[in-house]
Amino acid sequence: MYRLAVALLHDDDLARDIVHDVFVSLLDSPHGMHVSGGYLLKAVRNRSLNHIRDCERHQRIANRYFLDNEEYDAEMWPDDETVARIYRLIREEITPQAKRVMELRFADGLPFAGISAAMGISETAVYRHLSQALKIIRKKLNENG
């Protein structure tokens, strides 16, 4: 099982964690459950593939919505009036939960996982709140030039 996980993940520590998680889930399941070797291998394979899928999703989000530091440096920063308009839009147009997500992300610098844990919502919900808030701000700023 460990060799299968290493072959899929190319990471010894992560492979051990995946195999460990499979055994923990078996220990937490109802007593008297009999499993075969094939079941265990499928469970390790599925957990490994789920981990790979989750990592790819996080990478796609990061690549699509967050600029590298070099791009931030090259951009023209908004003037004080535009910043004030952005703060006003956040106060007036953004939902309270999306405001909290923005505060944790941009003011506190938390990653999606940290925001998710702090607010008790999924990382996908964090992404949706942030995406919707940024969409509203961009739309309102574009309407006003």
Per-residue model confidence as pLDDT tens digits over 79-115: 778 778 888 888 888 999 999 998 888 888 888 889 9
Report how far residue 90's alpha carbon sits from residue 121's, in angstroms, rounded to the nearest whole number.
Answer: 21
Percent of the chain with pLDDT over 70: 82
Note the pLDDT of residue 142.
82
pLDDT at 77 over 90: no
Q: How far apart are CA 84 and CA 140, in angstroms?
A: 13
**Residue 56: pLDDT over 60:** yes
Domain ranges of the chain: 2-65, 69-143
User: By mean pLDDT, which of 22-36, 68-82, 126-140 is the weakest?
Assistant: 68-82
pTM of the model as a whole: 0.46
- Quote the mean pLDDT of the chain: 81
Question: Which CATH number describes the domain made up of 69-143?
Answer: 1.10.10.10
Q: What is the pLDDT of residue 70?
A: 47
Q: Residue range 32-55: average pLDDT?
A: 85
Of residues 66 and 140, more confidence is placed in 140
- Percent pLDDT > 90 in the chain is 20
- Please give the C-alpha separations between residue 27 and each of 13, 33, 54, 82, 142, in angstroms, as whole numbers: 21, 10, 25, 57, 56
